[in-house]
Amino acid sequence: MTDTTRYKITLVVGTDIHPRTRYKITLVLDTDIHPRKWIADVINGNLNEKEELVEWETEEVSDNFELLSSINDVPN
């Protein structure tokens, strides 16, 4: 098994449909290749023709990085 590293990637996507509208997307993933080598190609290849990747930031995080899904879970 290959060792992987956990990264938090924050993306900002803009659209020509509503020029002042931007979306912030945060991904947490484990990979054995640094995301800077492929993230822009993957995201740009999957956007609509009127959308564009405005900026992105990559941050290495620890394996015990607490995911938002677990932070936002509210007990019944």
pLDDT in tens, 43-66: 999 999 889 999 999 999 887 777
Number of domains in the chain: 1
75, part of any domain: no
- The answer to the question of residue 29 being in a domain is yes
* Predicted TM-score of the model (pTM): 0.72
Domain membership of residue 38 (yes or no) is yes
- Kindly state whether residue 31 falls inside one of the protein's structural domains: yes
Would 73 be classed as within a structural domain? Answer: no
Answer whether 10's CB lies under 8 Å from 56's CB: yes
Structure tokens at 64: 């015990």
pLDDT in the model for residue 63: 76
Q: Which of 35, 34, 30, 54 is nearest to 44 (CA)?
A: 54
Kindly state whether residue 72 falls inside one of the protein's structural domains: no
Tell the burial category of 5 from Cβ atoms under 10 Å away from its Cβ (0-12, 13-18, 19+). middle
Helices (H), 1-76: 39-44, 68-71
Residue 51 lies in a domain: yes
Domain containing residue 43 = 5-63
